[in-house]
A and B are shown apart, each in its own frame.
Chain A
């Protein structure tokens, strides 16, 4: 398959992920969108690895996945704390930083 198709697919997935982070108010959905962005990047890395016949990009994918896993555990812990304080997972409740 031509490389362009993989690039477009990866780009589309990334943009959907960014839009989700910007628009959605539910913290868990925002998290899902972040995971979507990471997976889009993974997809692109694997596609280029096959295209350039270089396996080091596939090794990098493993690193990305490990980091994603660690980030999920910490992030979910924060969301649990948030729920215990405000009894909701709505991000617009977190506005105490304002002047």
Chain B
């Protein structure tokens, strides 16, 4: 089995082949064949990931590196294309290929009527390829290649229906905000190279450990890498692209903006855990920003009426929880939440896709209601996902979220309190969404009512599978306080062993943990009942929110702030450069040279008067001058 690890490079190869096949020959293939190639590629990658997982899950396994070829070698910089296989990698491989496979199958039905079917699947396969590259890389450069690649695919897929200008704007916004974060990431990489002379994980981490706690260079590197993570994983201040990214097809939102791409930041920080443990200053910042984002985004989600926007802000909020986990040193808890979140958030998005499909494209929940009877499978799976995200035991979200909150409590009870507040907000807005969509009376047009139907099996089977995972997915991480053995935590512990030896983060005692869990669960159930009372018989009164609610309904006017602070000055500056510098200065210079040549030629032409006397005079004068000069030079 350990021989399998040498073939780990096959895993990204299949999606890449799928991308090439569908991209080049897609138009001439039948839709069925295209879907088969795309899903087959991801399925093959999934099977290989399972085999690699089994190879890694043996006792006495140590990290293995597989060298493929040298990317480039310049001076003292050598960047090899190496893949690293350890426990963290393999968990992410399973998430990406497993959830990705379900979403590919779902997409076959969802995008059935679309003309760009082949283009869609080629982009989706390309995305899986880059994401796999990201988690497999053994040095920061390969990670960054995958990082940039998933940003590119995100742009291509958000702007998939490129004839709509608003969608193109959303795609540009996503890409540009990612690039701003990537600038921070790159500067961090340069700093890393200038200090450690290498990009590979093993070299950097071993050298970094010799530097001691809170060393200036490590703080700078970790903060800069975190800036990259805020862009990719949609944290404050670079999160505003994610709600706009809902312009893309719903399965894209499920895969990229819920389950995989946005978790790249968490993977990167989990991989660099030793650097962050060495810089508690940066860790605190990660935790604070994560928590602030979690609560802020949850508050905005309370006041959104577009089903996908609610889920988008929910994703931003849940990502905040993962960063909170990383920030308090609970790295395995954060990865655990990545896993459970992938399950229930993908489920939520795919369920929303079925709803939108059934409503003929309508996304406003004020126009829905009473869909329970027409969409039973979607109803039950959506309910399971809402319970999971609210953290109701024994579903998956409960275990991952409470592990993070438990560690937060032992570091600082205030973090726990605010985190708990955010969790209660989460439960409230999710069930608000649920009750407004599926209960009450139908508020749409009669035309839409006729069109309501459950999705085909290609859509509902992934929903059921994801629902099963959302229920059972948490059972791999049952903590010691509940008499479990936390398989996931134990599995991942070799990856975080160095961090643990540096900074002991003791969790609270078992009784305290159980008490916190009980408090959280009871409060959550109360919140759900409150939401039920409020929204189960929702009538659209059409009133606009005012005051604080109005502020949240407009997403805190953050987009408007960015527009005034950044976009307008940039546009004004670029306008200045175009009108003044380009037309007047540069064009003036270039045209001025031409005009100068014209003028001087006119002056020189006057010499040709045709008067022979003048010519003779010139000859004599020239001869005299030459003689005089020669006379003085002879000296």
Q: Which of A22, A94, A97 contacts B617 (CB 8 A)?
A: A22
Most chain A CB within 10 A, of B609, B612, B617, is at B612
Q: Taking the complex as formed, is B600 at the interface, i.e. its CB lies under 8 A from any CB of chain A?
A: no
Question: Which residue of A21, A22, A91, A97 is within 8 Å of B608 (Cβ)?
Answer: A97
A13 touches B (CB below 8 Å): no
With a cutoff of 8 Å between Cβ atoms, the chain B residues found around residue A94 in the complex are: 612
Q: Are A98 and B608 in contact (CB under 8 A)?
A: yes
* Interface set, chain B 464-484, CB cutoff 8 A to A: none
Q: What's the dominant secondary structure at chain A's contact region?
A: loop
Residues of B with C-beta under 8 A to A95: 609-612
Q: Is A85 an interface residue (CB 8 A)?
A: no
Q: Is A52 an interface residue (CB 8 A)?
A: no
In Å, the complex CA distance between A21 and B609 comes to 18
A96 on interface, CB distance cutoff 8 Å: yes
What residue in chain B is nearest A24 (Cβ atoms)? B613
The docked-state distance in angstroms from the alpha carbon of A94 to that of B612 is 7
| Distance from A74 Cβ to chain B, minimum over Cβ atoms (Å) | 17
Q: Which residues of B contact A21 (CB under 8 A)?
A: 616, 620
Query: How distant is the Cα of A69 from the Cα of B605 in the complex, in angstroms?
Result: 37
| CB of A37 to closest CB in B, whole Å | 11
Beta-carbon contact of A98 and B617 below 8 Å = no
Which residues of the partner chain A approach B608 to less than 8 Å between Cβ atoms?
Answer: 97-99
Interchain CA distance A18-B624 in the complex, whole Å? 12
* Residue in A25, A91, A92, A98 with the greatest tally of chain B CB atoms within 10 Å: A98
Chain A contact-residue range equals: 10 to 19
Is A22's CB under 8 angstroms from B616's CB? yes
Across the interface, name the chain A residue whose C-beta is closest to B623. Answer: A18
Give the residues in chain A near B612, CB-CB below 8 Å.
91, 94-95, 97
- Interchain nearest-CB distance for B580 vs A (Å): 40
Q: Which residues of chain A come closer than 8 Å to B605, judged between CB atoms? A: 99
Q: Nearest B residue to A94 by beta-carbon distance?
A: B612
What is the count of residue pairs linking A and B with beta-carbon distances less than 8 angstroms? 28
Docked-complex contact A98 and B616, CB < 8 angstroms? no
**Measured between C-beta atoms, what is the minimum distance from A49 to chain B in Å?**
23
Query: How far, in whole Å, are A96 and B609 apart by their CA atoms in the complex?
Result: 9
Residue of B nearest to A91 (CB): B612
B609 touches A91 (CB 8 A): no
A65-99 at interface with B (beta carbon < 8 Å) = 91-92, 94-99
Check A92 against B613 for contact (C-beta < 8 Å).
yes
List residues of chain A with CB within 8 A of the CB of B609. 95, 98
By a CB distance below 8 angstroms, the chain B residues around A96 are: 610
Q: Give complex CA distance A79, B451 in Å.
A: 110
- CB–CB B620/A18 < 8 A: yes
The complex places the Cα of A71 from the Cα of B501 at a distance, in Å, of 111
Closest to A19 in B: B620
Chain B nearest Cβ from A98, distance in angstroms: 3
A92-B616 Cα distance, complex, nearest whole Å: 12
Within 8 A of B (CB), among A49-73: none
Residues in B with CB closer than 8 Å to A25 are 613
**A97 cross-chain contacts in B, Cβ below 8 A:** 608, 610, 612
Q: Which residues from chain A contact B611 at a C-beta distance below 8 Å?
A: 92, 95, 98
A99 to B606 CA separation, bound complex (whole angstroms): 8
Interface residues of B in 275-334 (CB under 8 A from A): none
Complex CA–CA separation, A94 to B609 (angstroms):
11
Q: Which residues of A contact B620 (CB under 8 A)?
A: 18, 21-22
CB proximity of A43 to chain B, nearest CB, Å? 20
- The chain A residue sitting closest to B615, CB to CB, is A97
Q: A92 CA to B610 CA in the complex, in Å?
A: 9
Q: When chains A and B are docked, how far (Å) is the Cα of A92 from the Cα of B436?
A: 106
| Separation of A30 and B610 alpha carbons in the complex (Å) | 18
Nearest neighbor of A21 in chain B, beta-carbon distance: B616
Chain B residues contacting A98 (CB-CB under 8 Å) are: 608-611
Task: Kindly provide the distance from the CB of B631 to the nearest chain A CB, expressed in whole angstroms.
Answer: 15
Q: Distance in Å from the Cβ of A87 to the closest Cβ of chain B?
A: 18
Least CB distance from A44 to B in Å reads 15
Chain B residue numbers with a CB within 8 Å of A22 are 613, 616-617, 620
Q: Kindly supply a per-residue 1/0 record for chain B positions 586-618, scoring 1 wherever the CB is within 8 Å of any chain A CB and 0 otherwise.
A: 000000000000000000010011111100110
Closest to B607 in A: A99
- Which B residues, 145 to 195, have Cβ-Cβ distances below 8 Å to chain A? none
**B391 smallest CB distance to A (angstroms):** 94
**Measured between alpha carbons, how far is A94 from B608 in the docked complex, in Å?**
13
User: Chain B residue with minimal CB distance to A18?
Assistant: B620
List the A side residues contacting B610 at CB < 8 Å. Answer: 95-99
Nearest-Cβ distance from residue B360 to partner chain A, whole angstroms = 80
Q: A95–B620 Cα gap in the complex (Å)? A: 19
Q: How far is the CB of B572 from chain A (nearest CB, A)?
A: 51
What separation, in Å, do the CA atoms of A98 and B611 have in the docked complex? 7
Query: In the assembled complex, how far is the CB of residue B388 from the closest CB belonging to chain A, in whole angstroms?
Result: 92
Task: A25 to B291: give the CA distance in the assembly, Å.
Answer: 103
> How far apart are the CA atoms of A85 and B196 in the complex, in Å?
93
Q: How far is the CA of A22 from the CA of B620 in the complex (A)?
A: 9
Q: How far does the Cβ of B521 sit from chain A's closest Cβ, in whole Å?
A: 101
Chain A nearest CB from B608 CB (Å) reads: 5
Give the interface centre of B605, B613, B616 by most chain A CB atoms within 10 Å: B613
Residues of B within 8 A of A99 (CB): 605, 608, 610
A92 partner residues in chain B, CB cutoff 8 A:
611, 613
A and B contact pairs by CB, cutoff 8 A, 28 listed: A18-B620, A21-B616, A21-B620, A22-B613, A22-B616, A22-B617, A22-B620, A25-B613, A91-B612, A91-B613, A92-B611, A92-B613, A94-B612, A95-B609, A95-B610, A95-B611, A95-B612, A96-B610, A97-B608, A97-B610, A97-B612, A98-B608, A98-B609, A98-B610, A98-B611, A99-B605, A99-B608, A99-B610
- Please give me the 6 A-B residue pairs with the lowest Cβ-Cβ distance, nearest first: A98-B610, A95-B610, A97-B610, A99-B608, A98-B609, A94-B612
Known contacts A22-B617, A95-B612, A97-B608, then 5 further A-B pairs from the complex at CB < 8 Å, ordered by chain A residue: A21-B616, A91-B612, A92-B613, A96-B610, A98-B608
